[in-house]
Structure 1
């Protein structure tokens, strides 16, 4: 079964670009997330972290 899948995947033109695109999307997403974490204001982080403890929110 594995031999069939390997042979089938090798027959697809341009198949090598898909793992590269996946890696690029993965890297860009986490780079942007890393940038956001360090650039977010401390007041916003504190406000959002206190939402579960706020009793004034409607249920």
Structure 2
């Protein structure tokens, strides 16, 4: 698990992965591969909160 929390360019691998998933979800909505409905919006909101929490954790880890 230590490899996932190692900082690369100021962010952990978990943060990078969450951001890539968020970008992929947005791309799929634009290409109409995923329907733009309430479930997609809730999923994106949860993903956004996870990204924020991960980046906040990275910031605390960077200041140690």
Same fold (TM over 0.5): no
Compare relative contact order (CA 8 Å, sep 6+) and give the higher one, 1 or 2: 2
TM-score, structure 1 as length reference: 0.44
Structure with the larger strand share: 2
- TM-score in terms of structure 2 length: 0.41
